[in-house]
Amino acid sequence: MSIFETLESEVRSYSRGWPTVFDRAQGSWLYSEDGKPYLDFFAGAGALNYGHNNPVLKKALIDYISRDGVTHALDMYTVAKRDFLEALNDVILQPRELEYKVIFPGPGGANAVEAALKLARKVTGRESVINFTNAFHGMTLGALSVTGNSMKRGGAGIPLVHATPMPYDKYFDGAYPDFLYFERLLEDSGSGLNEPAAVIVETVQGEGGINAARLEWLKGLSDLCQRHGILLILDDVQMGCGRTGPFFSFEEAGIKPDMICLSKSIGGYGLPLAITLIRPDLDVWSPGEHNGTFRGINPAFVTAAEALRTYWSDDTLEKGTRAKGDAVGRVFTELVDRHPDAGLVAKGRGLARGLEFASGEVAGKVCAAAFDRGLLMETSGPDGEVVKLLPALTTTDEEIEQGLSIISESVDSVLSH
């Protein structure tokens, strides 16, 4: 592995926890170049909800490439883009009675967030944006300004301004009513809080430690925004596309955000794709006012459309995700009960699950022990104290059971020492 250490920047991270060279992947498995299999409960940080090299999506992709379908097209009209928009409208938006227009902002989740923040400020004429403690929205400057992690923010090298953090759900462990501080600042002309253009929120904070907001909290936030004329931006980059069960992670709360950011698994196959959904009346862009070279990645349109039609034309995947998530939750609860003095906390919703430990050191040791046993998973949270699971939604029940067995062995082994 010397070439990586010699030429690749020190900024690399995941490879440090998984010191092997991977060669191929299929379904929920990655294989090192010497053939060792690893059960993947990381799934590209949520970019592979349908697994590695999904055969249905792979066929659609190969067929498209083989016929010399357009690959790069900026924002030109193409058959592939039309097919994706029709699938998105027919399979996702119309059945949920959602009316949005689509921005193609660039290849990644941070691009989707940047477009939403920029448009919110343009529409309202205001600068301030409200974000939440432990939030993560991306590594570009605008997205980083609404991110909570101090280490990531510190990498900016300049002041990150025009964003004000508020307490996320359960931040004070129920000691105060929801939004007490937020509402007070909004209503007090002497608070010093500039009138916000928007609020940006994740329903489950993935990088922040698998902090799952209560549905009533999300509903209360939506109501607050409507009362005060604030746009609600829902960052569903990691938790959308079925990660929590429904296609959108906010559906169970019964809310309709003004803007929705999607990336990661919206491309279906692991190809880069991002979209920002906006209320039609907010579409006040001038032509070319927000653009980018890689916002028309047509192979991703192909696999995205195929994924929507294959997995979201009925509720089979949603039900399976809920059932598998419940299985993970039961095992995590058993681990909490088995180690009552370890300070463990089971967290999450659907197949976004976390097990919080007393420190990042202990959580890191658990992930290392799992890697040695052939399982990939990462840590999250402000101090890396949460073992985070994001298995593919297509992971079989048997693979879920196998992975949970490895996790239990790893937790027991680390805590016994």
Instruction: Please determine, for residue 111, whether its predicted confidence score (pLDDT) is greater than 90.
Output: yes
Q: With beta carbons less than 8 A apart as the criterion, state whether 292 and 106 touch.
A: yes
Instruction: Please determine, for residue 11, whether its predicted confidence score (pLDDT) is greater than 90.
Output: yes
What is the model's pLDDT at position 144? 96
Instruction: Please determine, for residue 406, whether its predicted confidence score (pLDDT) is greater than 90.
Output: yes
What is the model's pLDDT at position 124? 98
Q: Please spell the DSSP secondary structure of 270-293, one letter per residue.
A: S----EEEE-GGG--PPTTSS--T
Average pLDDT, the chain: 97
Please state whether the predicted TM-score (pTM) of the whole model is above 0.95: yes
| Spatial CA neighbour of 63 closest among 310, 327, 298 | 298
Q: With beta carbons less than 8 A apart as the criterion, state whether 295 and 74 touch.
A: yes
Instruction: Please determine, for residue 62, whether its predicted confidence score (pLDDT) is greater than 90.
Output: yes
At residue 349, the 3 state secondary structure works out as strand
Q: What is the pLDDT of residues 143-199, one digit of tens each?
A: 999 999 999 999 999 999 999 999 999 999 999 999 999 999 999 999 999 999 999
Q: With beta carbons less than 8 A apart as the criterion, state whether 392 and 269 touch.
A: no
Q: What is the pLDDT of residues 329-356, one digit of tens each?
A: 999 999 999 999 999 999 999 999 999 9
Instruction: Please determine, for residue 417, whether its predicted confidence score (pLDDT) is greater than 90.
Output: no
Structural domains in the chain, sorted by start: 2-54+316-416 (3.90.1150.10), 59-311 (3.40.640.10)
**Stretch 282-295: mean pLDDT:** 96
Return all residues near 396 (Cβ < 8 A) that are at least 6 apart. 28
What is the model's pLDDT at position 411? 98
Q: What is the pLDDT of residues 356-380, one digit of tens each?
A: 999 999 999 999 999 999 999 999 9
- Displacement of CA 101 from its chain's centroid (Å): 21
Q: What is the pLDDT of residues 207-243, one digit of tens each?
A: 999 999 999 999 999 999 999 999 999 999 999 999 9
